[in-house]
Structure 1
Amino acid sequence: MDCVGSVVDVINTYLFAPLVEQVSYLRSSGANVNDLQTAVRRLMARRNDEQSNLKAAENAGQVKTDIANNWFEEIEAIKTEFDALENKYSQGTYMNCWLLYNLSKRSVELKQMASDLLNEQFDLVRRPFPKSVIEIECESIENQQSTQHMLQQMLDCIDDPEIGIIGLYGMGGVGKTTLAGKVNNHFKKNFCFETVIMVTVSAIPNIPSIRTSIGKRFGLDLSNDNEDDARELLLDALRKNKFLLILDDLWSKLELKDVGIPHPRNHKGSKILVTSRIQDVCTDMDARKTIKLRPLSIDESWNLFVEKSGQHVTADHIKRSAEKIVGKCKGLPLAIVTVARAMANRHGIGEWENAAREMEQSATELRGMKEEVLVPLKFSFDRLENDMLRSLFLYCGCFPEDYNIEKEGMLNFCVGEGLVNKIGSLTTARNKGEALIGSLKTACMLEDGEDEDSVKMHDMMRELALWITSPESDCSSKFLIKAGQSFKDAPEANQWLNATRISLMDTKIKELPELRERCPKLTTLLLRHSKMIHTIPPTNFFQYMDHLSVLDLFDTQTLECLPDSLSCLVNLRVLSLRRCKRFRSLPALEMLQQLQVLDLYGCLSLDQQILGSKCMGTISNLRYLDVSLTKVSFSRGVISHLLKMEDLRLYNAHNIRWRVSSENEKWDDQGNINNIDVGELSHLTNLTSLDICFKDIKISNWFKPLAKKIRVLILQRCRDIKQEAIRALNESQNLQFLSIQECSGLTYAPTCLKGRLEIWNCTNLEKMLDGAEEKTNQDSFQRLESLDLKGLLILERICVGLAPLKCFGNLNKISIFKCKKLKMVFTKGMPRFFNNLKSIAVESCDRMEVIMETEEEDGKLEGSNNDRVISAFPKLEKLTLLHLPLLVEAHNNHIWHCPILKEMNVDNCPRLEKDPLRIQTVHGLQVINGTEGMPKSRMKRKFKRFKSNEGEGSTH
């Protein structure tokens, strides 16, 4: 029985049960299809919900996961098959059993698949994987060659393995962000970095925001992490990548470690580029290379303007005005684009002429200039470190457009602002002024001037200063500025009343208004270079300016006198009448007891005694006095009462004579009141700088204490000279000009001075430098820039023996005249290379044979004739050789290589007629003057013949 039961179970399991299941597909076909319909309907509902969720997530920046993508594809496959199945089922009256069986069975299978998909759980979306570079939209630089050059320079720095951090700086609106964007986009096609990220930092860095922005590029959400965790996560992500990080618009140092950024020196191959308006910020960020982005050239500015405004601006009737407008922008792209957009739809000549006038008078009148240019630029002003910097910036706006502002002229500002009283001395105030100027330059709010002693202000920065100090501004300082040749009429009296500073510099104004009300805030009045002002209103003009601290009349050339109301300026600290050539009468100064700077330099017509006994209160405060090139005089005892004097300039003060009390000369109170005892100078214990001329007096021990304070010194006909006294000049760090004339007692020349040295007609000077004597003094003639020797009848050598290594290293000009015994200029013991020498002039030296004496190792062999070529004068531009009867050549059997020589004057050098000077140039001489008796054309042919046979380059 057990055996029979087992057989029955096997038959039931493997035969009847499957048979029943298969039969049920036929019996339940309708129910199966209906169940499938229900399952598909539910599945499609979830699909629709998930699609809505997906759209929202994608709008938020997330992307669909691969598993979600497969899920949607499987649903579409089921839906497609269900639609076909349902269509077949609806035609059931024509189906045979076998077809109905298959349809029912597939319905069951599809239902199970639909149920599985309906219940499946998965991540619909994920954060996107970071792109290597996200392209940034920025302005084209296609027609800006200088900007393209800067871009390449930056890319070269990024490519340099020795440079980890690069700094790009420049004034606001000059295009730093555009250039940084170009750097970013460059690496879209150049796969040098795994990740390139550009982040704007701004004035007040939000470190969590910066960190989050960088983190997003790596798929990190750091917004909810604590500070330490977020920093470590970002640090770890960056360390795993070779990255370029661009930090745009920094205003102060950003600590990389606080953000979670590894320093490139610890992460080789990665780079950081920072941009800022302030050079110091780049340096503070440890930038190994800083690059200044400068404004566009004239042509580039014009091309940008045409691009943004339209071709109509090139029409003849518009172009002239358009060029004036563009010129006013001074290459600042932000200003150019703003003006171009404002004028894009303007076609009438009147509209353009009016716009040019508005730009000339006040750029704020033009649409968009205030909001789009000046407001962004003002951010630089607001971010300056202190009020003194802001005040100096606004002061610079008082100068005319494109004016070269001398740094020394900033002394007026420093004194006027009371810096001397605050920090103790004129020297310290001057140094402070230098530091302030440096800070404004590194902030790109001032620019380099035409030389190292001056600065300039970009036109848009000047417009900013004018706008800040205009009546419409909320700034407390209100300036009245009418500076420049376009102004012919002075502002009316009522405009003066609320001004704190008034500038009428470089105008064509002839008359100033009569004032009848106080100007209670006025501290500065600048009238310099207004050469047509010949008089100041005589009645009470200065009476209404009792707070005036600076009165600048520099170069008002027709001005002859000042009114007596000058005595009302009881707070005046600076009075400048510099280069007022016709000025002849200075009012009494006894009431000006705050006066610290009195500048009368170049008042050639001023012939009066000043600072008399009634001015003792005034002179006790004076710290700077310049009466050079005047005819002023002092009564005895005045000099000794200048107790605070720091900078005294008496250079070529024609009516001042000096005497030494030990000479036992008698005073003549009637005729020689201008003779001042040199002992009075010893009372000036605060003196640091002295310009002075001594004539016909003994130079002895009294001179030693003064020597180290002297800046400019002229000695004339001082026949009795103690050499120890002259040697004391070597202790001066301030000596810039020394002229010794007709001093027969001179046997030693000071060697430690900067600037210019003249020695004329000193008949007992045999040498300028003795190497044996100066071997312990490595500064000998190291800072000298110009050497002028004339009438030194027994001078045989400039240098005897071996000169110090850097001797004459800064010399740029040497002139030798009537030194009868001198045979050569540069002897063996002197340096063989003069890298800064631009001009050599030798004239009327009867025994001169060669310019440079030969040493065996001089030069290198060149050419088929094995000539020795020496490159001693790489910057020589002018060579003058006149009246030298024994001169054979420049350098014995050597060729001078002078690559930039432009002018050569050779006259009455008869021994040069047979052979020309052996000189190589690169660009050719522009001027050649032949020797006496030899036409210029012949001299030039000889020079050319040598050039073509023995040298390189060409002449023309």
Structure 2
Amino acid sequence: MELAVEFVTAFSSVLVDHSVASVGRQIGYLLKYKTNIEDLKNQLQKLKDERDKVQHWVDDATRRGEEIEAVVQRWLDNVDKNIEEGEKVIRKAEERAQKEWFRRSLRSRYRVGRRAAKETETIVKLNVESSFERVSYRPLPQGIGITSVKGYEDFNSRKHTLNGVIEALKDPNIGMVGIYGMGGIGKTTLAKEVASKVKQEGEFPVLVFVEVSQEQDIKKIQGEIADKLGLEFREETLSGRADRLCDRLKKEKRILIILDNLWEKLDLEKVGIPFGEAHKECKILVTSRDQNVLSREMETQKNFPVGILPEKEAWELFKKMASSTVENPDLQVTATEVAKECAGLPLAIVTVAKALKNKSSSEWKNALLDLRRPSSRNFTGIQAVIYSTIELSYNNLETEELKATFLLCGIIGNTIIMDLLKYGIGLGVFQETKTMEETRDRVNSLLCNLEASCLLVDRSTNDQFAIHDVVRDVALSIASRDKHVLTIKNSVGPREWPYADSTGILLLHSDIRELPEEMEYPKLKFICIWNPSLELPENFLNRMRELRVLDFTEMRIPSLPSSICLLANLRSLCLYSCVLQEITIIGELTKLEILSFVDCDVEQLPKELGQLTRLQLLDLSDCPKIKVIPRGVISSLCRLEELYLGNSFKLWENEDLRNQTSNASLAELRCLPNLTALDIHIPNIQIMLNDLFSERLTKYRIFMGDEWDWHGKYETERTLKLKHGTSFLLEDGMYKLLEKTEDLYLDELKGEPSILWKLDREGLPQLKHLHVHNSPDIRYIINTMDDPWISSKAFPILASLFLQNMINLEKICHGKFPVGSFSKLRIIKVGSCGRLESLFSFSLFKDLVELQEIEVTDCEKMLGIVAEERLVAVVDNEARSNVELCQLHSLTLKNLSSFISFCHMDSPSTSWSTMSNSMPLLDEK
């Protein structure tokens, strides 16, 4: 009877609240409530699977440095909310189903069925919306910065030219402008300053700077422009890439492309640069030593010469570079004469002044005599002056080691320091060092000396060096004259090659069609060949018994010639971007110290490689096709100090496998007691071994977990990336690695809510960059509430902090933090941290004096950047009345629905008035 009354009551409610047409559906909520709950469970699981799939795409895109589409991020946020809501409906339904009263309450069953059906409709809709064409996009690179170019001197004589170039670029009737002048006059610097000025003025939102150089490489030029535009090529042919690039450039409303250092005509159409009527909003600035290249070949519409400096400006620059040395009365007359000999050429002035800085009077007088002597090469006029000034600096280098390093830099050109290391070790240039680490430090010290002498350009990165093309010409000239290094550029037949006294052969991008079958070079120390069209004759190396360095780049080598076995003194073998097949014979080169296969197409290393027991460096970087390294090969290389397997072999096998055909195991690394540098990827963390990494490691990139992207620039020497799991991180061996790590990536970690702090009890004292993504278990970055023994600083030198998709992160710092924590922080970026209400407490934030950039996006509960500690009494209002953020120049706030103010505090007494003078980015949405 009670059940009947309940049914009548519930049914009456349906009739009252709804039209007759919907009564059937409403009754369905009552009768099919169990089915509705099951449907909700099924659709919820489908949504979770879709969410995980999209999240994986998002994570991959984030690691590649791409921006996530707003619609995708909103979908993920909605999914998380609805999953939480759907689970709540299911949980309540299951809890009520256990109650006796629920079985008798038709009204309650109706409500449960209706709630489940409505939630199912929402979830089905979200499932349908998950079909995204793409989840991310590549942000446009910033290109040349808006600050003034480093090293630019604001000479009065150059202002007219600078302003003239800018006005010409603004002229709607001019599409291509040229700057010309002799080598070392300052064309490149002026062009970069033009770019800086027009960007400050907002004239060209997009700037692209490309150095063309003497050996034009169309594919490289296309790649550099594409990188600046965030464009990825799928096409293999030059014409296909040109079409894609042209289409992309036409989409830019205002763009300036700077083509620096043209020696001959560059076919813009072949590159893919639209010009003239094809795209009037694309302006081109070209620099060259030859006015004819500009006006006749490139058909520039307006050209500007860059001449030598007037005597007064030249003397001012000379004094600035030579410092107080020239103020000495005994030197003033000589110094003035030396400055005049530099003939107003900025490169010569800077080079000579720095070379003679703090030198004695006799050295200045001797330098003046050297500058006045005619050049020993076939140069005339001011060109002879340039070369003699640079050679003067070379002659003034203090040691033969420094001179040899300079010549080596000239021979191999602008490249990575690793190549300089490989060549120098092979040639025995660095004789006072015993280990690779000592040699690396020595090389860096030598490069600093050469930069200080202005014989090298100041480095923009730690792993590369750069040399001005004029300086390189001098270096090659000296190497040719004094060291008998043969540089072959033109097309010559095999019988026309000069023989006998040459100590080195440099053959780069030449027109040579074939190599001599056999050559007589008894004194040859090194040979470098970079030519994809050449093949190696079988007897090519027969009579080169003194060869110490052999470098083949971009060559197809089906098998190494048998004559390579005769190279008993070979120390360094570098094979770059080569197609390799049969390389077993390498095992015969038992004196090898350096072996490099960078970017080679090779699938298997021979077991004979294990015979190279003197090997100190093995570089297999960017060889993703390598599937086999025979077991025992790595462990046999007992003297190995540096092993590079980045973006390469990763099929490590379990050490328990004893099959003779099995692959290398991680345990072999334990057999390398001298290992100090290591790049390695370990996809399967289940085979990780305790104490695997030696305490001697000082330089490493160690990636653990399935997928990691190796591309991109690495600003530090010690990078650790970890995905999944945390248990093995707490082993003593990993503690030792973590405390040295400078760049740490943590993704999808599982474990304790404050595991980051527990990783290292010393507060990760050397960590500079921290990235934490997709780790739902983590509630705090630092938690001192549960660790009362903590006394040291946390992250004392951390410069950047990136937190992404940390859905349960409540606070960055929980509890009282150690004084000095985060004191060097410059950048913090936080995204999709749904429970985070603020970034910092006031007591921590007021000490972040170096903070430069803050970015917070998609944090729905974020109230403010800074929060006052509610339980701490304000004892010194005067000291707290003004917080200076002098370094802060970028603040980005997006999709913060609960945001109240920058500083969310109980007391309004604090002022935030002192930021940097300009705030270019304040994006609040």
Question: Distance in 2 between the 1:284 and 1:791 partners?
Answer: 63
Task: Find the aligned partners of 1:183 and 1:545 in 2 and give their Cα distance.
Answer: 49
Aligned counterpart for 1:743 among listed residues 725, 746, 756: 725
Alignment partner, residue 598 of structure 1: 595
- 1:569 and 1:761 map into 2 onto residues whose CA distance is 51
Match of 1:815 among 779, 799, 802: 802
Any idea what SS the aligned residue of 1:427 has?
helix
Give the Cα–Cα distance (whole angstroms) in 1 for the partners of residues 494 and 315 of structure 2: 41
Deviation of the 1:394 alpha carbon: 1.4
Q: CA deviation at 1:754?
A: 4.0
The number of residue pairs the alignment matches comes to 560
Change over 3 Å in CA distance of 1:496–1:745 after alignment to 2: farther
Matched, 1:626 2:619: yes
The yes-or-no answer on 1:767 pairing with 2:742 is: no
Name the CA distance, whole Å, in 1 between partners of 2:436 and 2:491.
36
Q: What is the SS of the residue equivalent to 2:675?
A: coil
- Decide whether aligned partners of structure 1 residues 716 and 607 sit closer, same or farther in structure 2, where only a CA change above 3 A counts: same
- Per the TM alignment, residue 643 of structure 1 is displaced from its structure 2 partner at its CA by 1.8
User: In the aligned structure 2, how far is the partner of 1:784 from the partner of 1:448?
Assistant: 26
1:900 touches 1:923 (CA, 8 Å); kept in 2? no
SS of 1:431's partner is: helix
Q: Give the match for residue 675 of structure 2.
A: 687
Report 1:855-934 matches (<5 A). Answer: 855=843, 859=846, 872-876=849-853, 879-892=854-867, 905-912=892-899, 922=916, 924=918, 926=920
Letter of the 1:380 counterpart? S
| 1:484-495 mapped onto 2 (5 Å cutoff) | 494-495=496-497
State the AA in 2 paired with 1:499.
Answer: S
Q: Do residues 451 (structure 1) and 451 (structure 2) align?
A: no
1:381 to 2:397 alignment: no
How many angstroms does 1:785 deviate by? 2.1
Partners of 1:398 and 1:420 in 2: how far apart?
Answer: 17
1:683 maps to a residue whose letter is C
* C-alpha separation in 2, matches of 1:632 and 1:544: 36
Number of the residue aligned with 1:27: none
Q: Provide the rounded CA distance (Å) in 2 between the counterparts of 1:885 and 1:181.
A: 55
Distance 1:735 1:533, change over 3 A: closer
Q: How big is the alpha-carbon RMSD for the aligned residues of Structure 1 and Structure 2?
A: 4.9
Q: Which residue of 1 aligns with 2:447?
A: 437
Q: Contact 1:633–1:655 at 8 Å: present in 2 too?
A: no
Find the residue that maps to 1:840 and give its secondary structure.
Answer: strand
2:781 pairs with 1:798:
yes
User: Is this contact kept in 1: 2:773–2:804, CA < 8 A?
Assistant: yes
Given residue 621 of structure 1, which amino acid in structure 2 is its aligned partner?
R
**1:569-592 deviation digits (Å, cap 9, x = unpaired):** 4332112234x2755654520222
User: In the alignment, which residue of structure 2 is the partner of 1:714?
Assistant: 703
Cα 1:516–1:449 shift into 2, 3 Å: same
Residue pair 1:767, 1:800 contacting (<8 A) in 2 also: yes
The residue type paired with residue 616 of structure 2 is: R
Residue-by-residue CA offset, 1:902-949 (whole Å, 9 max, x unaligned):
66554443213x65789876465555665xxxxxxxx4xxxxxxxxxx
Offset, 1:388 = 2.4
Change (3 A) 1:705 1:446: closer
For 1:812, the aligned partner's letter is: A
In the TM superposition, what is the alpha-carbon distance from 1:596 to its structure 2 partner? 0.9
Task: Give the aligned partner of residue 43 of structure 1.
Answer: none
Structure 1 length-normalised TM: 0.50
2:692 aligned residue = 703
Letter matched to residue 381 of structure 1: Y
Determine if the alignment matches structure 1 residue 478 to structure 2 residue 455. no
Q: Distance in 2 between matches of 1:634 and 1:841?
A: 41
2:318 and 2:353 in contact (8 A); partners too: no
C-alpha offsets along residues 797-820 of structure 1, whole Å, 9 cap, x if unaligned? Answer: 212239777643443332212323
Q: How far apart in 1 are the matches of 2:561 and 2:356?
A: 48
Partner of 1:783: 766
SS of the residue 2:331 aligns to: strand
The alpha carbon displacement at 1:410 in A equals 2.1
5 Å matches for 1:195-344?
197-199=329-331, 282=358
Match in the other structure for 1:417: 427
- 2:408–2:420 contact (8 Å) kept in structure 1: no
The question of 1:550 aligning with 2:553 is answered no
Separation of aligned partners in 1, 2:703 and 2:321: 59
Aligned residue number for residue 475 of structure 2: 465
Residue 370 of structure 1 and its aligned partner are, at CA, apart by: 6.6
Whichever residue aligns with residue 821 of structure 1, its letter is N
Within 1, Cα distance between the matches of 2:758 and 2:659?
48
The 1:451/1:653 distance shift into structure 2, 3 A limit, reads closer
The answer as to 2:829 corresponding to 1:841 is yes
* Structure 1 unaligned regions, length at least 5: 1-140, 148-172, 188-195, 203-245, 251-274, 286-333, 343-361, 719-733, 860-869, 931-938, 940-956
Instruction: Quote how far apart the aligned CAs of 1:847 are.
Output: 1.1
Letter in 1 for 2:420: M
The equivalent of 1:179 in structure 2 is 319
| CA distance, structure 1, for counterparts of residue 648 and residue 760 of structure 2 | 36
Deviation string 1:330-366 (CA, Å, 9 cap, x unpaired) is xxxx9xx99xxx9xxxxxxxxxxxxxxxxxxx99554
Is 2:607 the partner of 1:574? no
The DSSP-based 3-state class of the residue aligned with 1:394 is: helix
User: Does structure 1 conserve the Cα–Cα contact (< 8 Å) formed by 2:526 and 2:548?
Assistant: yes
Contact 1:248 1:276 in 2 (8 A): no
Superposed CA offset, 1:773-796 (max 9, x none): 83xx4xx33332221112222212
Displacement of 1:896 in angstroms is 8.3
Structure 1 residues 370-409: aligned runs within 5 Å: 372-400=385-413, 403=414, 405-409=415-419
Kept in 2, the 8 Å contact 1:833–1:872? The answer is no
Q: Residues of 1 paired with 2:379 and 2:885: CA distance?
A: 53
1:445–1:457: 8 Å Cα contact kept in structure 2? yes
SS in 2 for 1:389: helix
SS of residue matched to 1:388:
helix
Provide the C-alpha distance between the structure 2 equivalents of 1:762 and 1:915, rounded to a whole number of angstroms. 32
Whether the aligned pair in 1 keeps the contact of 2:822 and 2:848 (CA below 8 Å) is no
- Note the residue ranges of structure 2 that are not aligned, 5 or more in a row: 1-154, 163-184, 186-312, 340-350, 362-367, 708-715, 869-879, 905-911
Contact map agreement 2:748 2:774 (CA 8 A) in 1: yes
Q: Mean Cα displacement is larger for which, 757-766 or 512-521?
A: 512-521
TM-score (norm 2): 0.52
Structure number with larger C-alpha Rg: 1
- Give the drift of 1:889: 1.5
Contact 1:540-1:565 within 8 A present in 2 as well: yes
Residue identity matched to 1:788: H
Q: What's the offset of the Cα at 1:624?
A: 0.5
Asked if structure 1 preserves the Cα contact closer than 8 Å seen for 2:720 and 2:741, the reply is: no
Q: Establish whether residue 513 from structure 1 lines up as the match of residue 515 from structure 2.
A: yes
1:388-418 Cα shifts (integer Å, max 9, x gaps): 2222221111144xx3x43333212321222
Give the match for residue 603 of structure 2.
607
- Aligned counterparts of 1:363 and 1:923: Cα–Cα separation in 2: 55
Query: Which of 632, 636, 639 is the aligned partner of 2:634?
Result: 639
Cα offset for 1:833? 7.8
Amino acid of the residue matched to residue 585 of structure 2? A
Contact 2:836 2:859 in 1 (8 A): yes
Shift of 1:657: 0.7
Q: What secondary structure sits across from 1:674 in the alignment?
A: coil
Inter-partner Cα distance in structure 1 for 2:324 and 2:829 = 55
Cα deviations across residues 534-558 of structure 1 (Å, max 9, x unaligned)?
543344333354432222345x388
Identity of aligned residues (%): 19
The offset of 1:850, in angstroms, is 0.8
Query: Match of 1:217?
Result: none
Deviation of 1:736 (Å): 0.3
